[in-house]
Amino acid sequence: MTTAVWSSAAWLAEATGWLDNQLADAGRVRTGPVSQPHLRPWGTVLTAPTDRGQVWLKAPGPETAFEVPLYGLLARVAPDSVLAPIAADVDHGRLLLPDGGAPLGDGLAAEDLPDALAAVVPQYAELQRTLAAHVGDLLTFGLADMRPAALPERLDEAVEAIGRYLGRHASDDDHTALRRVAAARPTVAEWCDRLTGGVATASLDHNDLHVWNVLTTPSGRRRFYDWGDAVVAHPFASMLVTLGFLRSELHLTDDDPRLLRVRDAYLAGFAELGSRAELVTELELACRVGSIARSLVWLRAVRAERFEHAGTFARAPLETLAALLTESPFDLG
């Protein structure tokens, strides 16, 4: 699919017809017009009011079509933590979702971020523990394999693909950064070997977990959504974005008690697997190599457009990959 297809009258009419049919099957009625609030090279979203609340039709692009079957699995095995689709069409790659409430970040003051995240990450850790038994399904759906054993090759892929994407736009500093990362491959392979032999087994990594990707109802029920960046990885790699987001928003050092409170609240969900020191070491290592997966997700997003049209995000894949070698394991680049 392309933005031209998703914005065409023919596609919109067909998608609206599907939406109405699925609503009818679910005993709902659309009460207003369908609008298209999001149209990006990697997917589009339609929304409409119904007699039982707002609904959302999500049509991911080919590279993130795994979201459609993924939502079905999540709804079956972790129904209290995700939105259950009203309908899903795997063949055509689209979902119909109910409204899940406001993002957790809505109206949240910066100083309240640590408490909000510390309250939600234990629920996310529980979801990951549940999903660890379904890694085979996740890979079958098409989620990228970013488990530690695969990451050295993924590093090679990222270096080559980012260099190709930058092309004539690459500066001397860009070339230097790519060479440094490529030269670090033996060290990265050693880190990955350590993680492969670690205490936590692979699971689902949301790969973009922050307060804007958690929905909360007026009653306080929290659910995770927007799984388009998800990969199969070491579970602790999820904290790269969570802790990196908190670190960046509040300008924290890695030893700040506010950041450590969120980290420890998450690790409490894995407490029986090892000592606190073992878990902390493994989390920091998983977050560090997690920048490889993040860089490839960024690349997937920006290369849908020409470099000149990517704006401030054009160098995000390189900056994220280069963070692999920075002092902090929670540096987002």
What average pLDDT score do residues 39-63 get? Answer: 93
Quick one: 122 and 259 in the same domain?
yes
- Give pLDDT tens digits for 237-246: 999 999 999 9
Q: In what order do the strands lie in the sheet with 203-205?
A: 144-146, 231-233, 203-205
Non-local CB neighbours of 219 within 8 Å, separated by 6+ positions: none
56-70, 233-247, 307-321: segment of lowest average pLDDT: 307-321
DSSP-derived letter for residue 145 is: E
Q: What is the pLDDT of residue 99?
A: 93
Quick one: 148 and 262 in the same domain?
yes
Quick one: 141 and 65 in the same domain?
no
Q: What is the span of the domain harbouring residue 27?
A: 3-99
Q: What is the pLDDT of residue 1?
A: 58
Quick one: 167 and 41 in the same domain?
no
- Give pLDDT tens digits for 281-303: 999 999 999 999 999 999 998 88
What predicted TM-score, i.e. pTM, was given to this entire model?
0.94
Percent of the chain with pLDDT over 90: 88
In the chain, the amino acid numbered 99 is D
Non-local CB neighbours of 284 within 8 Å, separated by 6+ positions: 329
The pLDDT of residue 85 is above 90: yes
**Would you say 35 and 42 are in contact if contact means Cβ atoms under 8 Å apart?**
no
Q: How far apart are CA 310 and CA 198, in angstroms?
A: 38
Could you tell me if residue 330 is inside a domain? Answer: no
Q: What is the pLDDT of residue 89?
A: 96
What average pLDDT score do residues 183-193 get? Answer: 98
What average pLDDT score do residues 202-226 get? Answer: 93
Quick one: 50 and 130 in the same domain?
no
Quick one: 94 and 120 in the same domain?
no
Which carries the bigger pLDDT value, residue 220 or residue 63?
63
For the chain, give the mean pLDDT.
Answer: 95
Least Cα distance to 163 among 295, 279, 62, 289 occurs for: 295
Among candidate residues 40, 67, 99, the one where a domain is terminated: 99
Q: What is the pLDDT of residue 220?
A: 82
Q: Radius of gyration of the chain from Cα atoms?
A: 20
Q: Read off the tokens for 103.
A: 């993002």
Count of CA atoms in the C-beta half-sphere (13 A) of 3: 9
The pLDDT of residue 81 is above 90: yes
**Would you say 140 and 207 are in contact if contact means Cβ atoms under 8 Å apart?**
no
Percent of the chain with pLDDT over 70: 99
Pairing state of beta strands 144-146 and 231-233?
A: parallel
Among candidate residues 36, 66, 99, the one where a domain is terminated: 99
Q: How far apart are CA 59 and CA 63, in angstroms?
A: 11
- Give pLDDT tens digits for 222-232: 999 999 999 99
What average pLDDT score do residues 5-21 get? Answer: 95
Could you tell me if residue 331 is inside a domain? Answer: no
Beta strands in 117-196 (DSSP E): 144-146
Confidence of residue 40 (pLDDT cuts 50, 70, 90): confident
Could you tell me if residue 26 is inside a domain? Answer: yes
Q: What is the pLDDT of residue 265?
A: 98
Confidence of residue 2 (pLDDT cuts 50, 70, 90): confident
Domain total for the chain? 2
Could you tell me if residue 188 is inside a domain? Answer: yes
Q: How far apart are CA 283 and CA 261, in angstroms?
A: 14
- Give pLDDT tens digits for 264-275: 999 999 999 999
Could you tell me if residue 332 is inside a domain? Answer: no
Q: What is the pLDDT of residue 303?
A: 80
134-143, 167-176, 308-317: segment of lowest average pLDDT: 308-317
**Would you say 242 and 137 are in contact if contact means Cβ atoms under 8 Å apart?**
no
Could you tell me if residue 15 is inside a domain? Answer: yes
The pLDDT of residue 4 is above 90: no
Q: What is the pLDDT of residue 42?
A: 82
Instruction: Give, in order, the Cα–Cα distances in Å from 283 to each of 195, 199, 264.
Output: 9, 11, 10
The pLDDT of residue 326 is above 80: yes
Quick one: 12 and 116 in the same domain?
no
The pLDDT of residue 211 is above 70: yes
Among candidate residues 69, 99, 129, the one where a domain is terminated: 99
Q: Is 27 helix (H, G, I), strand (E, B) or coil?
A: coil
